[in-house]
Each structure stands twice: as C-alpha cells, then as structure tokens.
Amino acid sequence: MLFNDTMKNLIKYLLTLMTCFFILATGIKAQEFFPLWPKDQMPNSKGLHHGDSIVNERAIQIGIPGFYAFFPSKDDNNGAAILIFPGGGYHHLTYNLGGFQLAKWFNTMGMSAFVVNYRLPTSPDLQKREIGPLQDAQRAMRIIRANTVKWKINPNKIGVQGSSAGGHLAAMMGNLREDISRIKDTLDAVSFNADFMVLVSPVITMGSNAHKGSKTNLLGDNPSQSTMDKYSMELQVTATTPPCFIADAFNDKTVPPINSLLFYKALLDKNISTSFHVFPQGGHAIGLSNNPGSTEQWKSLCEAWLKEMKFIEPISSK
C-alpha cells in the first residue's frame, strides 16, 4: 500500500515536471486576466453569482466578465491596441480560435491585444439581455484606455475586432454612443469609443437577413421593430463611426454575406473610409490558417490597411 502511494506521488511529480519543461520549451505562459467590474457593482445583474462554464474551448456561460491581455515585446510595441470579441452566435464564445489566436497574431504586428469575455445575452443573471454584451465591451475599453500610460498604448489608436456575432458587438462599439456602462466610479469619465473596426464574417442586421441564432439569443423570440432597428448596425452608422476593414466569403451559408454588404453601403453613404473584401471561398470559417485560395490574403490585406490608415507603423519606419 505504501509502495503504491509512493509510486502515485512520483508519477504526479514527474507529470508536473514534464508540464513545466513543456511550458518553458514552448514559451507558453498564462495571460493575465482583468475582471471588468468591482465586486457587487456589475450593472444589469440579478445577483445570481453563477460561475463560468467552459465546454470544448467554448465559453457557454460567463460569470466573471473580463479580458485577457496579450502584449507584444517591448521592442516591437508600436502603441496600437485592439479589443477582440470572440464570436459564437451570442450563445457561446469561441475564445481560442476567435480570441487567443487572433491576439497573438496582432502581437506580431506590434499591437497590444485584449480578448474580452463578455456576458452572453442568454445568461439567467441578466436583467436586460440585449445590453449585457455591450456594457461589458464599453467597460473593457474604458479600463484599457485608463491604462494606456502603464501599457504604453496610444489612446487614439485602440480598435475593436470581431468575427460573426463578435463582429456585431464590434460594430456596436463603432456605432453606438449611448453610455450604458456607468457605475459612478472614476472610469465613467473615460471614453469607450473605438478608433477603428476589423470585422470578419460579421453579423450586422437584425432584419430579414439576420442570422437567426444571433438575433434570437440577443433580442429574444419576438422583438419589436424598433428594437430590431436599434440593433441593426447598418441603420446605426453615423458620421462618427470609425474606419472599418471587412473580410467575408461569398459562400458563407451561416451568416449571409449581405450583412457585410449592407454595412459597407451604410458606411459608404456616410463617407466612412472602409476596406471591404468578399472572397469566393471560406464559408463561415475565415481564420488565421487553412483558408482556401485567395481568402488566405485577408490577413496581409488587413495588416496593409492598418499601416495605410496609420493605426500601426510600417516596420520600415521604426
């Protein structure tokens, strides 16, 4: 019996040691997590205090909204930053493929990146489902902008990125100016406005071309016409909407590509500078790797746009 216990402890020790060696060898390190709200001050909450729920690298419930910070090396940092909102139809968050991996890619361009775990509108804790994600997004932007000196970020070069339903949340951050995240603390005075948007296969409209899952999860089963209009981002573009980059696929059968087209037309009508790309292939799976054909170019096009718009400095100018 004693021998068995000794062997079990030895095996546990060896496994722990192997894990440590693997982490050191691969350069993997834990990212710091920043909660968004002070204890017992989270707005729009019933006070249920439920925990996070993770299944197959998908967050299906967020109990503590916050963001993971990914910083470039000190020598590469060019002062730009981006908030990333993972997609998942407002049902879950694909935080790895649609969050962490993108953050590391933005780091290669010298940008600080923040992956936001926002509350899902399906949460039983929310008093008003449709405003929960945007409240968390606004608060995340305020925290990041309040720490620009500490994190060496230019407060005028902080953008938002989102894929699928995360693209809808990013578009709301670009369009909507109503302050729904005030809690009477010092961050109330900090701007939550985004300086640019990067949207990939975004959900945009809540009208006839809406992605049904995102629409139902965000607005419920029978939203009013005024509510659908309010959350249809092609109807909310104004002269203060920031510049935008859009990548989409013609053969996307999940979120109709007309979502992107409607948004582009609205941006064009308001004279908002936009780089809009619709690739023949890619479906609803445009990502960092394994993109078919010309779709693989979306990353280089996005980087070129960020440089052209002077949100990031070209490497040659450093």
Query: Starting at the edge strand that comes first in sequence, how are the strands of the sheet with 197-200 ordered?
Result: 33-35, 66-70, 112-117, 81-85, 158-163, 197-200, 244-249, 274-279
Q: Which one of 3.40.50.1820, 3.40.50.720, 3.40.50.1260, 3.40.190.10 gives the CATH number of domain 32-317?
A: 3.40.50.1820
| Rounded Cα–Cα distance for residues 146 and 266 (Å) | 31
- Residue 174, φ and ψ in degrees, nearest 5: -80, -30
Q: What does the mean pLDDT of the chain come to? A: 90
- Of 10-14, 43-47, 75-79, 293-297, the poorest mean pLDDT is in 10-14
| Rounded Cα–Cα distance for residues 246 and 90 (Å) | 20
Model pTM score = 0.89
**Does 4 have pLDDT greater than 70?**
no
User: Looking at residues 149-164, what average pLDDT do you find?
Assistant: 98
pLDDT band of 314, cuts 50, 70, 90: low
pLDDT tens for each residue of 181-237: 999 999 999 999 999 999 999 999 999 999 999 999 999 999 999 999 999 999 999
The pLDDT of residue 295 is 97
* Secondary structure class of 205 (helix, strand, coil): coil
* Secondary structure class of 60 (helix, strand, coil): strand
Dihedral Cα 248, 250, 253, 256, nearest 10 deg? 60
**Does 1 have pLDDT greater than 80?**
no
- Sketch the domain layout of the chain as residue ranges: 1-30, 32-317
